Amino acid sequence: MIRDYLTLLALWAGLLLLGFLLCVVFNPFGFFAVAIAMGILLLSGVLSAVLILVLKPVLIRYALARPNARSSHKIPTPQGGGIAVVGAALLMVLLPAWFLNLPGYVLSQFLIVACASIGLALIGAVDDIRPLPASLRLLLQMAAVMAVVLTSGIRIFPEWMPLGVEQALLIFGGVWFVNLTNFMDGLDWITVAEMVPVTGAIVILGPMASQEPPPLLAMVIALALCGALLGFAPFNKPVARLFLGDVGSLPIGLLVGWMLLELAGTGALAAALLLPLYYLMDATITLLRRLARREKVWEAHRSHFYQQATDNGFSALQVSAHVFGLNLVLAGLAAMTLIWSSGAVQIAALVSGIVLVGLMLRRFSTPRQTIPLEVSR
């Protein structure tokens, strides 16, 4: 684990150096912003790791996830690492926001998102220890998403669409995103492989959006969450010694969904769809297939494409590596939609992303061919 953290530290130092070099070339006045950003990234990662070390004995005692027929792990493993991840991310935003004396509307927006996330974390914590009825979970999730959507004031659809209809669609999409993030968190490192590129891309693409000002609060929270997930990553590395649990996956789904909404509100709708496209397609196609088979979609299963991949010969590390690489490509396509804002580029990027994810899903659902070795006689 020490080697993993040294690798992350070296990566952080490389990013810091790259940021300073880019400032020399493009914006000599950007050194301060780069230093603050890299400081948030580093401190949130350190805080997340420290909180995990403090909480882990308690989680081992009270929050063990025991393997079953539908799980991907083979031995009892503590869950609840999401407490540290979400807690570190929110704390690393709260402290600068408090001391920098930000405008009241920014603080109120942060408090609403933070309180909704903490509420979902509490629901997830209870559900990790003693499962709640599916209907109750859904109602509480809807309440959290409604609080965020209805107070955001963001519109992403054409003006001719009634506000009530748009808000209903956004609430439905937000609830689905919260749940699909929870559904997809079923394999070592997969949430790290998905959410680190997505949050990192939000930080980079935010200033590129056409609307002024950029979604600064969403960018800061994305940066803090990215760092906190990196602090969690060595504990979740295959074979994992700690899981996020619902206490982490539910609020992470809400936070990232809100960040993507903020990005879409700047006019970058195509980018906001491209960044989480793998999670969206894997979870949605799986849900539709299960509905077609008249299965109880609220019950645990092993039908997701990433789960099929492990049954078809992929290791957990290989699956996560594929997802991480695909997300880097999707982030590149999202950047293209901001650099070239024409409708043709938006459509081409979305179609390319759908095709690439489709090919990945097909690869995951196909058994790997193994070449038998010849045995000399």
Q: Identify whether 241 is part of a domain.
A: yes
Please give the pLDDT value at position 325: 96
Q: Identify whether 317 is part of a domain.
A: no
Please give the pLDDT value at position 376: 39
Q: Identify whether 190 is part of a domain.
A: yes
Domain that holds residue 75: 2-267
Q: Identify whether 306 is part of a domain.
A: no
Q: Identify whether 299 is part of a domain.
A: no
Structurally, the chain folds into a number of domains equal to 1
Joined tokens for residue 24: 């020399």
Side chain identity at 206, as an amino acid letter? G
Task: For residue 23, give the H/E element and its range.
Answer: helix 2-26
Number of H helices, E strands in the chain: 14, 2
Q: Identify whether 282 is part of a domain.
A: no
Q: Identify whether 286 is part of a domain.
A: no
Residue 209 · residue 156 · CB < 8 Å:
no
Q: Give pLDDT tens digits along the chain (377 positions).
A: 677 777 777 777 777 677 666 665 556 666 777 888 888 999 999 999 999 999 999 999 888 877 765 666 668 889 999 999 999 999 999 877 666 666 777 788 999 999 999 999 999 999 888 888 888 999 999 999 999 999 998 989 888 899 999 999 999 999 999 999 999 998 999 999 999 999 999 999 988 876 667 788 899 999 999 999 999 999 999 888 999 999 999 999 999 999 999 999 998 999 999 999 999 999 999 999 999 998 887 777 888 999 999 999 999 999 999 999 999 999 999 999 999 989 999 999 999 999 999 999 999 999 876 555 444 33
Q: Is 301 exposed, middle or buried (0-12, 13-18, 19+ CB in 10 A)?
A: middle
Q: Identify whether 160 is part of a domain.
A: yes
- Reference 92, options 245, 207, 265, 231; nearest CA is 231
